[in-house]
Amino acid sequence: MNCVDFVELVTEFLEGALPEADERRFIEHLAECSGCESYLDQFRQTIATTGELTPDNISPDARQQLLSAFRGWHRQ
């Protein structure tokens, strides 16, 4: 396996979706190539950082309206 192939297989590797023989070649390459070792590590860090995002929330107005709607619906 060379680096061009390695960088395209990272997600499949992380998902455990690589066929056994490909996974073996992937790991063999990983053990011998520091560039690809960094690439895999950075991929993991990217995923972890993405998981830390705290996205915007709905506006307080919208939230209030939904709470009233819930209250109203149940009273019916």
Partner 1 sequence: MAGARELPPDEVLVQRLRDGDEQTFTQVLDTWSSGMLRLAMSFVSTKASAEEAVQDTWLAVIKGISDFEGRSSLKTWVYRILVNTAKARGTKESRTVPFASLLPEEEGPTVDTSRFRASGEQYAGHWAVGQEPRPWHVPEDYVLRGEVREVIAEALDELPPRLRTVVTLRDVAGYGSEEVCSLLEISPGNQRVLLHRARAFLRRKLEEYVSGAHDVAGGRGRP
Q: Which residues bind partner 1 (CB under 8 A)?
A: 2-5, 7-8, 10-12, 15, 17, 33-36, 38-39, 41-43, 45-47, 49-59, 62-63, 65-67, 69-71, 73-75
Tell me the closest approach of the beta carbon of residue 65 to partner 1, in angstroms. 7
By beta-carbon proximity to partner 1, the closer residue of 24 and 68 is 68
Measure the CA–CA gap between 64 and 55, rounded to whole angstroms. Answer: 19
The separation between the first and the last C-alpha atoms of the chain, rounded to the nearest angstrom, is: 66
Structure tokens at 71: 């209250």
By beta-carbon proximity to partner 1, the closer residue of 24 and 70 is 70
Q: Assess contact for 8 and 33: CB atoms under 8 A.
A: no
